[in-house]
Amino acid sequence: MGSPKKWLNKKWLNKKPLLVSAAVLTATAGIPFAVYAGTPSTVTLSVYIGYDANNPQAQANLYNKTLIPLFEKENPGIKVTWSYYSSSTQENTELQTAVATHQGPNVFELGTTFIPTAYATKSFHVLSAADWKAIGGKAKFFGPQLTMSGPNPNNYIGVPEMMLPFAMVYNTKLLKAAGISKPPTTWTQFVNDAKKMTNASKGQWGTVIDPEDSYDPWKIVWAYSKQLGSDFLSPNLKKATLDSPQVVNAMTFWFDWLTKYKIVAANDLTYKNSDALQQFENGHIGMWVFQGPSLIPSLNQSAVKGEYAFAPLPTVPYGMTSRPKGGTPTQTIVSGQDLAIPSYTTGATYQAALKWIKFITDPKQQQELFNVYGDLPVNQQAYKGDAALNTPMMKAFVQSEEHASPTPFSGDWGNLETIFAGVTNKLADELATNTFKPADIASQLQAANAQVQQSLQ
Amino acid sequence: MVDQSNVSISAQSISVRRDRRKRNRPPYWMIAPAVFLLAVIVAAPFLVSIYTSFTSLNQYSIGNWLHAPFVGLKNYISAFTQGSAIGASALQSLWVSVAFSLLTTLCITPIGIVAALLVNTPFRGRSWVRALFLIPYVMPVFVNAITWRLLFMNGWGLVDKVLAWLHLASVNTFWLIGPNSFWAMVIADVWSSWPFIYLMVLAGLQGIPNDLYESAYMDGATQVRCFFSITLPSLRPILSLALLLSTLNHFNNFTLPFIMFGTPPSPQADVLPLNVYVTSFQTFNFGLGAAMSLITLVLMMIPAYFYIRMLRLGEATT
């Protein structure tokens, strides 16, 4: 063998450059396909799900040791792989990449409020009557969950997988110590109860806000706006209504918890959901609104274990004895996880995806998911004979689900969420720097409304 | 009459020379895979970005992005004129980024130089100190960001508690929102990035011949005089390069503000990379996001131009 220089100067190398380059590139490019193609009779189904930060090991065990082996045993010839996203941001970018490149996971687990955006991309299969039959029919699901599956029953792209109705979690010990016998059912009672539980010198507060969170604030303000008879978009989805008096009223009420009623700490202005959770778990918070059952595993490992309970949200606005005309008793958004199949999944893989969805939404698997995630089953049959799903705590969520309202099915909802988070963030900034004026709420919402309106199609 | 043998020899020698030239010609084709990868990884996305910046690509058209409606220069105009209800406008973000990168570089330069000088001369345990100095730099950015987020929490964060204990500020000073968020970002970044200057300067110090210092001391120069007359001038090329690279790195810092403040951040901490990210991937305005990215690129070309010139200057002088 010659020296490297001599080897480089070999004539055959200089004479056949393109051939060699092509051979190298072809060989290397071919490797992934050779590995992943599998045998012709095997269909590989890739499933993309949300990461369970509370119990990642249990989630991995559920998929690797329980769900996938059972499914593959029941469906020979289908191999399932799974990967996860650890945040809504990652969920968002992965979906965008898959949609733009027409390749990626075969089944997406998407949050219900994200389904309108997925629908807007026109890159997901609209499920036919035959598809629904293969999944086990629409009737097996909780009705309200299907309202976020598509713009109308003929155009559903999402299949409910888990539901996450929101409620109010409260500290039973603090409630009892304040002489309160039961959780509030009106917002006036809520404020009064929170005042009773507040003891600033002890660092104990009636409730908590997290204006720096990207998602929590809009949910609370939206539900209160619905109770007042308004929404963030007009019914035909053509007009943004963030500047309506009801929404301004709702936002004002939320910040009044700090500025007027003094039932939350000023420190809350920098809080995200995780910070608020930490405060509740340390036993510093009396009531925390708009929280779901997925909180339970975390609470059970905290200082408030055995000292908390859930109740549906109050439904009568502050200072009123009943809801105004047009107001709805909204206690939660239609929330949870849906499964959707991107359009690039076709043929045998598509059929395999439908089989997986049927499998995962059947009662037994629904109960398995509940045991790990704490999110409620969407299959009504799953509740029958399962003691853990029929506790008073769970019934509070089921009761909330009965008063769930779907958020507007607009492809611009994700954009609206981000813009709304910008408003709460700016208002929190002003409050933190003592530059806040009550009129700023209306002006910030007007600016946000104009920006949302620009993007509406 | 022409001597045939001479002609033959001459032709032969030309042929030999040609063959030798051919043999000695570098095999450029061997860089083909690298060129191919550069084209795929750099050139293609860059061209796609240019194309996207002239379209109104959003969630409605992303599935068929090649056919997104063409809007001409609208996105570029919007980038400079449009206010934002979310965070800062693009123009405001630009100033935040410029101020952030310049200020951070300005702060870390003296720290890095002093640290390098401290460990340049041998002493017992020097290798341990050198290793300790690198800790902030090797720590993952997200760990750094989360740690500083906890330190800056108002009311119970360590920063507020220490400041209140020293009677310098209220225990309820907000660092993660409002105007102070900019300073929180600068402090966190200074803490994690000064070792970069330290490393560069330390490398530069190794190259200064000891003879210079010995001659200077024999002539009665003090240590301060040596620093300003020998050390600093000798470090000038490497220090200039370090400052340029540092400015570029800080301008493009995305992870630190993203983890420290989340999205959307306070306008005062809404650096341009974060603004581009929110615009593109959270509000689905990919066209505007691409235009903002390209504007950033043009701005970055200014220090990059000086950087490349400096490298050429270095080549010429070595």
pLDDT at A145: 92
Has the ipTM of the complex gone over 0.95?
Answer: no
Closest C-alpha among A215, A221, A209, A206 to residue A271: A209
CA dihedral B176, B182, B185, B189 (to 10 degrees): -170
Residue A22 belongs to some domain of the structure: no
Give which of A429, A431, A444 to mutate to test B binding, by max B Cβ within 10 Å.
A429
Same domain, A387 and A424: no
pTM of the model: 0.80
Chain B interface includes A457 (CB < 8 A): yes
Given a cut of 90, whether residue A20 has pLDDT beyond it is no
Give which of A418, A420, A424, A456 to mutate to test B binding, by max B Cβ within 10 Å.
A418
Same domain, A171 and A159: no
Sign of the CA dihedral with A455 first, then B265, A88, and A374 last = negative
Superfamily of domain B39-317: MetI-like (1.10.3720.10)
Residue A15 belongs to some domain of the structure: no
Asked whether the bond before B264 is cis by omega within 30 degrees of 0, the reply is yes
With an 8 Å Cβ cutoff, are B172 and A266 in contact? yes
- Which residues of chain B does A14 touch, with a Cβ-Cβ cutoff of 8 Å? 22, 25, 27, 29
The pair of three-digit structure tokens given for residue A79, joined into one six-digit string: 């191999």
Mean pLDDT of chain A, nearest integer? 89
Q: Which A residues, 117 through 136, put their C-beta within 8 Å of a C-beta on chain B?
A: 117, 120-123
Same domain, A228 and A344: no
Tell me, what CATH number does A436's domain have? 3.40.190.10
* Number of inter-chain CB pairs under 8 A, A vs B: 140
Closest C-alpha among A448, A447, A450 to residue A417: A448
Same domain, A86 and A225: no
Which residue is closest to B176 within chain A, CA to CA? A270
With an 8 Å Cβ cutoff, are A455 and B285 in contact? yes
Q: Which B residues, 3 through 62, put their C-beta within 8 Å of a C-beta on chain A?
A: 22-25, 27, 29-30, 32-33, 36, 58-60, 62
Per residue in A419-437, pLDDT (tens digit) is: 999 899 999 999 988 899 9
Q: Which B residues, 65 through 84, put their C-beta within 8 Å of a C-beta on chain A?
A: 65, 83-84
| Residue A27 pLDDT class (50, 70, 90 cuts) | very low
Domain count, chain A: 2
Closest C-alpha among A150, A146, A257, A144 to residue A209: A257
Per residue in A36-65, pLDDT (tens digit) is: 444 557 899 999 999 987 788 999 999 999
Chain A interface includes B207 (CB < 8 A): no
Same domain, A177 and A309: yes
Distance of CA A115 to the CA centre of its chain: 10
Cα separation values, A159 from A111, A124, A149, A153, A353, Å: 11, 12, 6, 12, 12
The pair of three-digit structure tokens given for residue B262, joined into one six-digit string: 């989340």
pLDDT at B21: 74
Quote the DSSP letter at residue B265: -
Residue A25 belongs to some domain of the structure: no
Residue A102 belongs to some domain of the structure: yes
Closest C-alpha among A167, A149, A169 to residue A223: A167
With an 8 Å Cβ cutoff, are B283 and A14 in contact? no
Residue A309 belongs to some domain of the structure: yes
Residue A16 belongs to some domain of the structure: no
Range of the domain at A249: 167-330+412-455
List chain B domain ranges: 39-317
With an 8 Å Cβ cutoff, are B283 and A455 in contact? yes
Given a cut of 90, whether residue B171 has pLDDT beyond it is no
pLDDT at A390: 86
The DSSP annotation for A328-384 comes to: ----EE--EEEEE-BTT--HHHHHHHHHHHHHHTSHHHHHHHHHHH-PEESBGGGGT
Per residue in B31-69, pLDDT (tens digit) is: 999 999 999 999 999 999 999 999 999 999 998 888 999
Residue A310 belongs to some domain of the structure: yes
Residue where a domain stops, chosen among A387, A404, A421: A404
Same domain, A316 and A171: yes
Q: Which B residues, 101 through 130, put their C-beta within 8 Å of a C-beta on chain A?
A: none
Chain A interface includes B281 (CB < 8 A): yes
pLDDT over 70 percentage in chain A: 91
Chain A interface includes B285 (CB < 8 A): yes
